[in-house]
């Protein structure tokens, strides 16, 4: 039976922030929990640049997860100031926090994250992620022990965001820390971001997955066209790069690199939209865009500041 919004007060409802150093699997967990890929992921730190909500609604609860860019203090560029503020904003007015760590060990950056949570009044659950990488689960015991000594976590749950194991236990633990509704969003809504935003992110995801070294950090993606009037959705994106030499790399020999970025991004878009997509990508040079607040605002980075 499909519940309507007004019976929502029987459900648990609340906001939860996903916290953790870059690369621990916050966005992967978000996608797993909402059951749809809405937040881009890669093996590189700082893939997530915008705050995004993932909404999970079941018979028992509606939980809104906030995926944040990781806190970054090494680089002082305007872009990083913006993403940092976005990460901090994710901690205000939430009902619970899920902090993620990697099961292969506690790191100094995990302590930095923990530092930002000290004296915070809401319950913090610790998710020890990537347990699919462990051959011997006994290896978790010393880590759990250490975590218990460092902070009074409301719960410690080993999980794999990648294959979903034990994520139901994480949800149950969260529900135990939430109050009854009313819920805040329609039952079928999975995110606060629109299709245009998410499709543009799929292009950025491929830049992070396919380009080497520092290059992805010096790129930005703008949406030029999103035409869904017909059975095939026409999408046109512009990739901004910092230097002419970067443009050559993004395009690649005989355009091969750009073609592969486009093919993979288009596949993700089609999966997300459930429709055929015609994607066109262009590359343009704009020197110093990541240092320029006006350019950042044009590329949508101002939204996260409110």
Ligand X SMILES: Nc1nc2c(ncn2[C@@H]2O[C@H](COP(=O)(O)OP(=O)(O)O)[C@@H](O)[C@H]2O)c(=O)[nH]1
Binding residues for Mg ion, per CB under 5 A?
Answer: 26-27, 48
What is the distance between the alpha carbons of residues 176 and 4, in angstroms, rounded to a whole number?
23
From Mg ion, ligand X, none, interface partner of 130 (C-beta below 5 to 8 A by class): ligand X
**The two structure tokens encoding residue 174:** 């969260």
User: What strands, in cross-sheet order, belong to the sheet with 276-285?
Assistant: 220-227, 232-241, 276-285
Binding-site member from 16, 17, 23, 200 for ligand X (CB under 6 A): 23
Residue closer to Mg ion by CB (options 23, 173) is 23
Name which position in 16, 17, 42, 167 contacts ligand X (CB under 6 A): 42
44 versus 286: smaller Cβ distance to ligand X: 44
Q: Which of 43, 74, 135, 149 binds ligand X (CB under 6 A)?
A: 43
The three-state secondary structure class of 286 is coil
> Could you tell me which of 188, 267, 213 has the C-alpha nearest to residue 235?
267
CB 91 within 8 A of CB 116: yes
**Of these partners, Mg ion, ligand X, none, which one is at the site of residue 42 (CB under 5 to 8 Å by kind)?**
ligand X
- Cβ 245 to ligand X shortest distance, Å: 27
β-partners of residue 279 are: 235
Q: Does 86 engage in binding with ligand X (CB under 6 A)?
A: no
The residue among 11 and 24 lying less far from ligand X, judged by its C-beta, is: 24
Of 7-15, 17-25, 239-247, 296-304, the window that binds ligand X (rule: CB under 6 A) is: 17-25
**Residue 215 CA neighbour count, 13 Å, CB half:** 21
- Residue 17 pairs in a beta bridge with 66, 97
Task: Please report whether residue 41 would count as binding ligand X according to CB under 6 A.
Answer: yes
130-189 residues in contact with ligand X (CB under 6 A) are 130, 132-133, 160-162
> What separation in angstroms does the CA of 299 have from each of 39, 214, 295?
18, 20, 6
Q: Which pair of tokens denotes residue 241?
A: 């790069």
Distance CA 283, CA 244 (A): 10
Q: Which stretch binds ligand X (CB under 6 A): 43-51, 220-228, 247-255, 280-288?
A: 43-51
How far does the chain reach from its first CA to its final CA, in angstroms? Answer: 38
162 binds, among ligand X, Mg ion, none (CB under 5 to 8 A by kind): ligand X
Give me the residues that bind ligand X (CB under 6 A), please: 20, 22-28, 41-43, 47-48, 70, 129-130, 132-133, 160-162
């Amino acid at each position: 039976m499909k519940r309507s919004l007004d019976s929502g007060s029987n459900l648990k409802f609340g906001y939860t922030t996903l916290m953790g150093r870059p690369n621990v699997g916050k966005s992967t967990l978000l996608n797993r929990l909402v059951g749809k890929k809405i937040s881009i992921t890669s093996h590189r730190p700082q893939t997530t640049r915008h705050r995004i909500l993932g909404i999970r609604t079941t018979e028992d609860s509606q939980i809104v997860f906030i995926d944040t860019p990781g806190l970054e203090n090494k680089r002082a560029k305007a872009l990083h100031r913006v993403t940092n503020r976005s990460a901090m904003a994710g901690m205000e007015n939430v009902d619970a926090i899920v902090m993620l760590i990697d099961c292969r060990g506690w790191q100094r950056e995990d302590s930095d994250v923990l530092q930002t949570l000290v004296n915070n009044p809401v319950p913090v659950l610790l998710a020890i992620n990537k347990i699919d990488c462990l051959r011997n689960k006994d290896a978790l015991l010393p880590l759990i022990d250490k975590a218990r000594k460092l902070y009074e976590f409301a719960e410690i749950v080993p999980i794999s965001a990648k294959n979903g194991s034990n994520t139901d236990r994480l949800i149950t633990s969260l529900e135990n820390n939430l109050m009854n509704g009313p819920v805040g969003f329609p039952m079928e809504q999975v995110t606060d971001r629109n299709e245009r935003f998410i499709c543009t992110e799929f292009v950025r995801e491929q830049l992070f997955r396919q380009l080497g070294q520092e290059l992805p950090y010096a790129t930005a993606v703008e949406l030029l066209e999103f035409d869904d009037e017909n059975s095939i959705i026409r999408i046109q994106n512009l990739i901004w790069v910092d230097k002419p030499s970067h443009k050559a790399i993004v395009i690649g020999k005989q355009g091969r690199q750009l073609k592969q970025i486009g093919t993979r991004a288009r596949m993700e878009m089609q999966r997300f939209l459930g429709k055929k997509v015609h994607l066109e990508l262009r590359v343009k040079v704009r020197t110093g865009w990541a240092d320029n607040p006006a350019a950042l605002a044009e590329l949508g980075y101002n939204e996260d500041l409110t």
